[in-house]
Every structure is written in C-alpha cells, then in structure tokens.
Structure 1
C-alpha cells in the first residue's frame, strides 16, 4: 500500500468520524447509520468503507434537517460541501475535507417512516442498526447485485458475529449463501478487483461461513 493511499484513507476516515459525531450530536438524532461504514465504525470491519449511508426516520425529520446538520458540522471543521440530491426519499451531499478528488459522500434515505427501536443500537456514540439488521440488509444487497464488497462484508459478519445473530438474520444469511455459493464467489473474485478487499481473508471466512451454515463441510 502506498504512502499516498494510506494518507488519503487516514484523512478520509477522520472526515467520516467528524461528520458522524456531528450527525449524532443531538440526543434525538433520527439518522441511522447503515452499510459498510456502519460495520467499520461500529462493528470492527477490517476493510475501508468510503461513504456514509443513513436511514432517516421520515416521521421525525424536517425537510431541511439533514442539510442543516451537514452545514453546521462542516463549518465546525473547516470543510466545504455541496448539495447533490434533494428529493422526498433521498438527500445527498458531498463533503470536501481537503481532498477535492475524493469527496466524502453522505446520503440519507427516507423510505421508511419509522424504524422499530429493536432494530437499532448505540455503538461508539453512533445510532446504528443492530448487527442482525445489518446482516439482513447486506444479504438483500448481495442477492440483488454482484459486488465483491457485499460478499466480503457478509463473510466478515458470519465470521465475527454469527453467534450473536438472531434467527431471522441467520436465515437470510443461509438463503444468500445457498443461492450465491462457491460458484458465485469464484465469479466475483475472477471478474472484480478491489484494492480494499483481501481475497485470501475473504475466502477463508466465506468457507467457514458455508461450514457453519451446513452448506458445505470442512471435509468437502
């Protein structure tokens, strides 16, 4: 890994952390962190995640609140930002923290009116989905698109958190890895190259997950 690449990731991660602190500064924060950055910031995911993806609880969010928080936090840290999308269901901003070639994308989805409290947790001062809910969301993503990062994240969840998953999440994981099994794994590794993914680690975790789920055994 080059020094420049490492420096970029360090600065980008600092911006992610700063923006997440700003978003979570108020006790009634309605924005729930999801996706790879939720796994990285709250559950120890060992690959870098570049964007902040949120679910906003539509019943609790005035139309201007998302951009107001972005603006206030950017002012506090000397960042600049621009509005990229503003609809009834999606709001998106790009934050320039000093590297205009790699802005931080922050996106909030407002497709859910309310989110049950049992689906969320407070981890490291961040409102985030539980690991079981993140597993369900990731399996949905993995089944609906072919992205090697989704596979890596699911293999990580299965390796690190399988015993903590509820039965629904385990069932989602089982379905995903039965439908997209070793053949799909080989296809993704062959056709996608991602500098943020360690294929050897992913393969080891994926095979262990198939073993845990009874899809293949260690002796297969």
Structure 2
C-alpha cells in the first residue's frame, strides 16, 4: 500500500481532494483484482469509466459494469479480498442482490485510515440485463501507483454509455447523468435513437422527447448540491442542459 504522504502528493498533483485520491487508488486496485481473474465477462461503464479513460471533468465514486456472461461472484469477491490483502490493505467485501444485478461493497483501510469510520468505501454495481449492444473497447490502465501493475479493461463504447445516460436521466434523479451526457455530446459522441430505445426496452418503453425534457428540468434543483462535492467549479445548469436538449431533440 502506498503511504498517506504519497497519496496526498498525488492528490495535489491531480487536483483531487485526498479522500478522492484514496478512493481512486482503491478503485484502481479493485479493477486490477477483477481483470486479473476474468477477461470480458464484466464490461466497465458509467461515469468512473469516463473519468479513467476519457477525462471526465468530475470525480466519480462507483464502479459500474454490465455482465455479458455468468459471473462467479464468490470467486470475484475472493479475488478482491486477496488482491487488496497482498497490497497490505485490510478489507471487508459484502455482496447483495438487488433487482437485475449485484452490488458489492468494499470497505478498505487505505492510506488515510485512522480508525472508526475512516475506511475507504468502493461500491460495485453490476447490471445483469445482458444488454451490451456494441463491441466494448479494450483499454489499458497504467496505474500512477507504484504498487499496481498495468492491466487491460473492456470498456463500454461511448455511444452506448451515452444511450445509458439518457435512460438514467429518464429513470432516476441524478445531476451527474446530465453532466456526463453533456460531456459526451461535447466530445462529439453520436446519439443513436435505436440504441436508446434498445436500452429502454427493459422497461417496455421508448424514448419520448417531452418526458425527457421534463426530467432534465427536474434536475436543476439538485444540480449544485450534488455536483459541488464532485468537481471544483460547477457549471451553470443551463449551459449543460441546453446542448443536451438540442442534441436529443433530433432523436
């Protein structure tokens, strides 16, 4: 395990708060544990995938995946526990099964651990809808941490992440989904109506522009409170919402 001093140095260099850098360290270690044991059964996606590989301008806390084949979760949990243990990180891994997926919570005594409630917590959410449409892109992680070796990760195609972000905006109230979708649109990622409707099929629904616009408007009240802890400067809501509404109006 790296030292608290080294972690704080990295946090300063990367423009993160120390606890965010610690979580990033744990996320990287957990990803290493996962992909040192499995190949492509879990496709990495969501905000943290965008943060790791595409320069997303906000910190992302959870690890999100879609399972493309049967996963031995007991073996996966053991791999995480043993990998963190080899790094000298005491940890506890708990699993639960929500609707259409799995949740694995990792509590770890990281470089900033000082007892009590100071554990670093990483949540893994695995969707078992088996709805990956486009071929994932294999990306290499070259860790900035001296105790972790490079490894490869199958990452969901950005067009498909965008489609899932549209679905997420329709199905929950999270400002981060709108921010992430705007980020992808700004990067020139194509919005595909067929892909969006494929993602909505799980709910027996299709994309509706008016419903989507109303859902976007409803995010304004949570915009600043939610994003303040995830980025240094929160952009104006309208500066993010307007380009998204313009792009989705063409679906």
TM range (shorter): 0.7 to 0.9
Asked whether 1:55 is paired with 2:66, we answer yes
Task: Tell me, yes or no, if the aligned pair for 1:45 and 1:153 is still in contact at 8 Å.
Answer: yes
CA positional deviation for 1:45: 0.9
User: TM-score, normalising length from structure 2?
Assistant: 0.68
Higher helix share: 1
Q: Give distance in 1, aligned partners of 2:225 and 2:96.
A: 34
1:114-129 to 2 correspondences below 5 Å: 114=130, 116=132, 118-124=134-140, 125-129=152-156
CA positional deviation for 1:23: 1.6
Asked whether 1:98 is paired with 2:132, we answer no
Match of 2:194 among 148, 168, 174: 168
Unaligned runs of 5+ in 2: 1-10, 141-151, 198-206
CA positional deviation for 1:110: 5.3
Taking a change above 3 Å as real, the CA distance of residues 190 and 53 of structure 1, as seen in their structure-2 partners, is closer
Q: Give distance in 1, aligned partners of 2:196 and 2:132.
A: 20
- Residue in structure 2 matched with residue 218 of structure 1 by the alignment: none
Taking a change above 3 Å as real, the CA distance of residues 62 and 158 of structure 1, as seen in their structure-2 partners, is same
Match of 2:240 among 200, 205, 213: 205
Q: Deviations over 1:66-106 (max 9, x none)?
A: 20221232123222221322448424131312345252323
Paired residues in the alignment total 210
Q: Give distance in 2, aligned partners of 1:153 and 1:170.
A: 16
